[in-house]
Amino acid sequence: MYENILFDLDGTIINSQKGVSDSLRFAFAQNGVSFDGDYTIFIGPPFKVSFPKFLGSDEALTKKLISSYREHYAKIGVKECTLYRGIRDLLVTLKRDGKKIGLATTKPRLFAEEITKRKRIFGLFDIVSGTETSGAPSQKDEVVRIVMDKLQAAPDRTVLVGDTIYDCIGATVCGIDCIGVSYGFGGVADLVREGAKLIADSPKTLKNLLK
Catalytic residue among 8, 10, 141, 163: 8
Measured distance CA(52)–CA(48) in Å, rounded? 7
Query: How far, in Å, are 91, 105, 109 from residue 47 at the CA level?
Result: 28, 13, 15
8 noted as active-site residue = yes
Measured distance CA(68)–CA(85) in Å, rounded? 31
Query: How far, in Å, are 35, 132, 179 from residue 129 at the CA level?
Result: 31, 9, 19
Reported as half-sphere exposure (CB side, CA atoms, 13 A), residue 210 has a value of: 33
Residue 42's SS3 state is helix
| Residues labelled catalytic | 8
